Each structure stands twice: as C-alpha cells, then as structure tokens.
Chain A
C-alpha cells in the first residue's frame, strides 16, 4: 500500500498540470467553441519564461506570479483580440486550424526568441527545500505546494462559474454569443475573460511542469497537451469535474504503472508513454458525447450559416482559361529548366522537395477536398517509407515492387484510420488521428520489425531497365520523383474539378441534404481517406529513397500538424498550395542556412521556416483559399484596375 501511495504521489505534479490544462481546454471550448491545441505550446512558453526569469535571479515565487498573473492573461487577451474574436462564427474546422497554427507557431517562436532549448533546471515555485513525512511516506515540499495551488485555483474557478453573474452569462454566450448580445450582454467581454483565465491556467500548469525537467523542449509539453486532452475527453470536453478527475487519474496512473514494471521490459518503453493516448482513444471511440460535438448548436446558425469549406474556391476559378494555360506552361517550363540546369548540390534538395510535395498533396486531398482534418498524414508517409525501405533492403524486393507495397501498406493504414471517420468528423476525428499518430510514434515505428529502434536503416536506390538512379545527386531519380509528382497532381486535380469535388462540397455544406440526395458519404470518405494515405505513403517511400537511410525522427508525429498547417496556409483548395508548400518547406531552411546569422541564418533556420509557413493558419477563417490564391486574386484585381485605367485614358 505504502509503495502504491508513494508511486501515486510521484505522479501528482503531472496530475495537477494535466488537470489545469484540461480545465483550460474545457473552459475555452465551452466558452468560445475553440478547441485550443495551442495550450501545450502556451504552457511551454510560460515554462520557458519562468525558467528564464529564475535563471536571472528573480525569486521563483515572484517569477510564477509574473508569468501567471501578468503575462499569461495579457497573452490570452491578445489571442482573443487578435485571433479568436475574429473567427467566432466560423465553423469548427477553421477554429481547429487556427489553434493548430498556434500549436505549431508558438514553440518555434519561443526558440527563435530565447535561442535553442533552455538547459537551466528551474526550482519549484514554493517550498523547494521543505520535506515532510506523512503516514510513513516522504512527501517533498514542491509536491505539496503544487497540490495546494492547483486545488485553490480550481476551487476559485468553480465558485466563479457557479455564480449567476459570471457562470450564467458564460453558458449563454457559449450557446449563442449573438443571441446574448441581443439581450444586452457584452459577450465579447465574457469570451475575453474566458481566454484570459484559461491562458493563466495553462501558464500555471507550465510553471508547475517546468521544474520536472532538466531541459525544456516542446515535445514534453506535447505530452502535457495530449494528457490534458485525454483528461478533458473523460467528460466529452464539457464537464470540469470529470476533466479534473481525468487529469488526476492519468497522472496517478503514470506514476503507478511504471513503478510496477521493470524499466528494461518492452512494455516500459512502449506502453508507459502511451497511457494518455489509450485513454483518449477509448474515450473517443466509446463516449457518445463526441458524436454530437460537431453539430452547430447556435440557434443563429440558421440565420447566418457557417463559413464555407476551402473546396469552395474551386467553383470561382480566378484565372480565365488562357490564364490557366499560361500558368501551367510556366510551371512545366520551370520544372524542366530546374531539372536540367539546377546545380548538382541542389538536386538532392529538389528531389526531397518534390517528394514532400507529394506528401503535402495528401493533405490537399483529405482536408481541401473532403474537409476532414487528419494529423496522422506523416504517419501514413512513414508507413510508406518504412514499408519501402524494409522490403527493398531486408527482403530484397525490387524497388518498384516495394514502393507499390509501401503505398498499399499506407493505404491500409488509411482504411483503419477511416473506420472511426464514418461516425466522427471534424474535431473528434482530428483528435483520433492525433492519437493514432502518437501511438504510431511510440509503438509502431520504434518496433524492431518495422525500423530498427533508434538507429537508422539503409534504403537502396533503384536501378530500373538499366537506367541508374543511384547516388545522392542523381538527376534521373529527380526526374522519376517529379514524374510521380505530376501524376499525383493530375489525379488530385481530376478529383477536385470532377464529380467528387462537387459531391463533397455539397456534403460539407449540408450533410443531411446530401444524404437525402443519394450521396454515398461513407463510401466516398473511406475511399478518399485510403487514397490520401496512399499518396502520403508514395511520397514517404520516394522521400526515403531520396534520403538513402531512415531513422525515427524523419517521420515524427509532431510533423503531422505542421503538414496540415503549412498546406492550409498555402491553400488547401487547389494543388498549387501543396506544390509551393513542398518547395518552400525544403528550400527555405536551406536558403536560410546559407544566409548570414543576422538574418536568421544558421541554427534557427528550421524554426524560422515553420514560423513563416504557419502564419497563414491565423487568417484561414477569413481566407480559406490560402495565401497563394489570395495573392493571385489580388494580382488579378490589380491587373484589371490597370487595364481600366488604360481604357479610361484612351
């Protein structure tokens, strides 16, 4: 018993952090309809700031106060003012994408500002040297302080929400901010307060979480986020009590289970980090509350329907017919010139960019066309990559065959992932794919039958019909990848402009009317999911061959949200977005690395790339067509104006 208790107490600091962030998630979700994936990143920012303050000699308690009472509420109010207030009436997809943007943007931003990961290990905010023994179990001061702080904060919050003045207006604002405003309540203020409070909660969680680690890196805070999401899921993101209970349960489980397992066993490495994901997975698949989460509850949504999905841009083509031909000729010409004249050193980069573009196209297919959010696209790519690598290198299949097999493995993964998608859409689906991605990270890719643990596995280069594709700078291989890219692009375009695109646009706008018109949603979504996974798998396979060797970080699940955000930034409605995203994603860090460090060159190049490429996620709700199409539209308008001026002068 004592042993159990002492293990459980070891998990308490985690439990508190989970509970705090979970309550923040529930609060903002209920108050503003935004499921904030960015809380992990906000906690990271708070944690790093706290550590920085402490390392500059500020007393730890004062640092805690500065971060949670001053900085965090200001940041929350800023988020509300600059971001979430503007997308209040947007649909769930826009809100999810915006918060994903925050999740991707913030950690990179913090790294740029503070330098690389902070190494200084921070003291606990209170009672850092205190020690006591209770019923024969030793409890350290920080644990007690964490526990007391959390309980006090949560109790104050609960009392506030129970009150009529705060709680009632908040609940009403959740149902319909616009209706509440008609009754003379400033719902904007209510929602801003919700953001300030939840931001503070996330910051507190971050400050309590930071001292648990010697170095602060974003991935630890991703674990915090998934834990909190799993905790919030216990009450279908609507109950504060269950969210706290979930956080405590999860923290205690994470303290207790490793205690009873041998650290060398297979289970320890694979299972222990996966506990939150299993909990989330079970809740998503069994809790009925998630199925109705997506339906708009706002009575005003009939009067003013939600904004349209990105696929809509396809119906208002901006370029005319001749414009499109010129456009494509330019693209084809550019590609040919690039392949023939590009300097040797850039051949490898271009090859990787082309295969990344194929992976990006899988997002265009699933999100732009079908309106489904998947955070697991990198996992499908990884399946294709590992399938290809494994079959060609270890089982000596021909490279073409193993590429095909890898693509098929990925599409089977897509099939598995799409099964829950028959019932779940939007947010719950995004959460489920996140779960799938993190499980794959912990369980599938490190497994010895897939990769080879942490070390990398080699990948052969092809040699087909006597044409040599080997060597890191093979122009022949570049041609092959570009040919695949062209094929995929063409296929995706056929779908976007064909019957499928029209059908899915219809279903996105009114699923019930589409079903009553005979649109087979289940079958279509399943097929699109499989195709999208297959495209990702193909891209992954080609990427693996281009790299020449594979290791686990190449297909880290954390890249999944980055993929989604980058494609949406560039534009998920047409293939152009994915193509430009692919090139930018690979070429930008390369170019930045060459630039002088004053302009962001050197070590920070990939962080800067992510920041630059993710900015557009914040404008997604207003411009779902993406940056590329937006700029094209503006250019066209400017062109028309110039033409008109000329006409006038004549």
Chain B
C-alpha cells in the first residue's frame, strides 16, 4: 500500500513543557489508524499540527510524498479534512450550506470572482455531490434543517459530512464519540466504516472510547507524554505493558 501521510520527527513545546516529542507516524492510503493515550499525551496537539491549525516547532509532514503547506486552509484543499472535539458548526447556515461551503472552498470554486460573473448559484453537480454525501452519512432528511435544532449526535454527523463532502484523502476525527451514548457512538463508527468502504478515505481517529476504536481502527498507535509507545493491531497495543501501565493505570507488576 502506498504511504499517504508521513509525519517525521514532529516536536512541539508549550512554554517549558514538551507536548509532542519527535513523533513519527505513517498512514497508508485508505487505512484507519486509532490514536490513543491518556489526557495530555499530545494526541490533540499532534492532530492540530497535522491539520495545520498549530505549527510544529520542528519536523515535517508529507502528504503523498509532498511537503504540506503551512496554513490550514491550504492543507484542506490538498485533501486533509477534520472534525473537532468540541463540535464546530456554522451558526445560521443550513446543513446543506455547511456542505456547500466545504465543497466549493475545497475546489477553489467559491469566491468573489465567481459571484461577480453571475455564477453564484449552486450548480447541479455540486448539489448532487452534497446530497450523496448526506445520504452516505444517513442525514439526507436534515438537508434544510438549521444546525441549532439538531442533537449532539446529529451535529457530529453533520461535521463528518462537511469533512467528507470534498472527498478528502485523509480524515482526521477528534474524539467523535465524546458526549454521545453507546448506541450513538456505534452508529457513528458504523457511518465511518461505510464511508471508508465507499470512498476509500484514510482515517485517523483520536478516541477515548475503546469500543469505538476497536470498531473503526485497523491499526492503533499509543502516545504517552508526547512519544509513541506502541504501534500495532488493537489487541497487540492493548496488551502492551507500557500502554497498560501509562494509560490503563495498571501497576507495573
């Protein structure tokens, strides 16, 4: 399998504290990787560094062998999409509008000049793609709903649909199950799996809920204090002594 994302020696410190310490990470095309670790292990920071919302002090990140640009919006247009731990939706826009924003921005087809040429209306292909994505995520009925009326599970699904609409190569999803109950989490995991099967997108998922990780990830990477301490299948990593000690809180026997 070809390597999609390559993270080389990424370091980040906040003040005197090293949050991410020389992390290497590889994600193949179409692969699903789970990122686990205790709170403060550096998962979310690593995530934001890959997405471009935080800049690393050191190290480099490649997508398909090419170095990534610095800014988050440029990275998004190169094919990295993400969801947020605290849901970030656009107040006042309908669900469909959320997808249109992401789709048009990603394709570089939104902007002042398009509008001034009189082509500001949504085209048929754009609309089709948005509706397809909504159907894929199982929320086609909500297309014209205002997001403030939705439940947390639905909002997370809208975020997912927005991230997927432009058919990214890599989807970063940050604690998708936080705040959801068990059945909602499983539903979301199910959606993620079916999306991955039909679009071939690679997924990196940060997650505390092990059931969700087990359901989605093919490979699991464990972080502790900013370092990678284990890397392998779900069962291997969970059985790893270091992981059990640092994260599951087991005393070193």
Cβ–Cβ contact B112 & A516, under 8 A: no
Closest B residue to A499 using CB positions? B110
Closest B residue to A302 using CB positions? B86
Q: Mark A491-519, 1 if CB is under 8 A from B, else 0.
A: 10011011111110110011011111111
Q: Mark A289-326, 1 if CB is under 8 A from B, else 0.
A: 00000000000001001001000100100000000000
CB distance from A387 to the nearest CB of B (A): 23
Binds B, one of A136-144, A524-532, A595-603, A629-637: A524-532
Cβ–Cβ contact B102 & A494, under 8 A: no
Chain B residues positioned under 8 Å from A500 (CB to CB):
110-112, 114-115, 120
Chain B residues positioned under 8 Å from A509 (CB to CB):
89-93
* Bound CA span A519–B163, Å: 12
Cβ–Cβ contact B110 & A516, under 8 A: no
Decide: A502 near B100, CB < 8 A? Known: A515-B72, A527-B112: yes
* Bound CA span A505–B114, Å: 17
Chain B residues positioned under 8 Å from A505 (CB to CB):
90, 92-93
Within 8 A of B (CB), among A152-192: none
Cβ–Cβ contact B112 & A514, under 8 A: no
Cβ–Cβ contact B118 & A499, under 8 A: no
Binds A, one of B14-22, B26-34, B77-85, B223-231: B77-85
- Asked if B24 lies at the interface with its beta carbon under 8 angstroms from chain A, I say no
Cβ–Cβ contact A515 & B71, under 8 A: yes
Cβ–Cβ contact A495 & B112, under 8 A: yes
Cβ–Cβ contact B53 & A495, under 8 A: no
Decide: A516 near B92, CB < 8 A? Known: A497-B120, A503-B101, A503-B104: no
- Asked if B242 lies at the interface with its beta carbon under 8 angstroms from chain A, I say no
Cβ–Cβ contact B90 & A506, under 8 A: yes
- Asked if B109 lies at the interface with its beta carbon under 8 angstroms from chain A, I say yes
Cβ–Cβ contact A499 & B73, under 8 A: no
Within 8 A of B (CB), among A186-231: none
* Bound CA span A273–B73, Å: 42
Chain A residues positioned under 8 Å from B109 (CB to CB):
499
- Asked if A59 lies at the interface with its beta carbon under 8 angstroms from chain B, I say no
Chain B residues positioned under 8 Å from A515 (CB to CB):
52-53, 71-73, 76
- Asked if A521 lies at the interface with its beta carbon under 8 angstroms from chain B, I say yes
Decide: A518 near B77, CB < 8 A? Known: A499-B104, A509-B92: yes
- Asked if B199 lies at the interface with its beta carbon under 8 angstroms from chain A, I say no
Cβ–Cβ contact B90 & A510, under 8 A: yes
Count residues of chain B with CB under 8 A from any CB of chain A.
Answer: 42
Chain A residues positioned under 8 Å from B71 (CB to CB):
515, 522
CB distance from B230 to the nearest CB of A (A): 28
Cβ–Cβ contact B91 & A517, under 8 A: no
- Asked if A520 lies at the interface with its beta carbon under 8 angstroms from chain B, I say yes
Chain A residues positioned under 8 Å from B162 (CB to CB):
517
* Bound CA span A510–B86, Å: 12
Cβ–Cβ contact B105 & A315, under 8 A: no
Closest A residue to B91 using CB positions? A509
Cβ–Cβ contact B98 & A506, under 8 A: yes
Cβ–Cβ contact B51 & A516, under 8 A: yes
- Neighbour of B76 across the interface among A312, A315, A518, CB < 8 A: A518
Cβ–Cβ contact A517 & B92, under 8 A: no
Cβ–Cβ contact A514 & B101, under 8 A: yes
* Bound CA span A110–B112, Å: 43
- Asked if B240 lies at the interface with its beta carbon under 8 angstroms from chain A, I say no
* Bound CA span A632–B54, Å: 45
- Neighbour of A498 across the interface among B105, B106, B120, CB < 8 A: B120
* Bound CA span A510–B119, Å: 26
Cβ–Cβ contact B89 & A518, under 8 A: no
Within 8 A of B (CB), among A399-422: none
Chain A residues positioned under 8 Å from B112 (CB to CB):
495, 500, 524, 527-528, 531
- Asked if B194 lies at the interface with its beta carbon under 8 angstroms from chain A, I say no
Chain A residues positioned under 8 Å from B105 (CB to CB):
503, 514, 517-520
- Asked if B221 lies at the interface with its beta carbon under 8 angstroms from chain A, I say no
Cβ–Cβ contact A519 & B101, under 8 A: yes
Cβ–Cβ contact B92 & A308, under 8 A: yes
CB distance from A499 to the nearest CB of B (A): 4
CB distance from A425 to the nearest CB of B (A): 16
Cβ–Cβ contact A517 & B102, under 8 A: yes
A-B residue pairs in contact (CB < 8 Å), sample of 17? A308-B91, A312-B91, A494-B116, A494-B120, A495-B115, A498-B120, A500-B110, A502-B101, A502-B110, A509-B90, A509-B93, A516-B53, A516-B72, A516-B82, A517-B101, A517-B162, A518-B76
Interface residues of A (CB under 8 A from B): 302, 305, 308, 312, 315, 491, 494-495, 497-503, 505-506, 509-510, 512-524, 527-528, 531
10 shortest interchain CB distances as A-B pairs: A498-B120, A498-B115, A518-B76, A513-B88, A499-B110, A312-B92, A517-B102, A518-B105, A506-B90, A515-B72
Known: A517-B76, A517-B106. 12 other contacts (CB 8 A): A302-B86, A315-B97, A494-B115, A495-B120, A499-B109, A500-B111, A502-B104, A505-B93, A512-B53, A513-B88, A516-B84, A517-B102
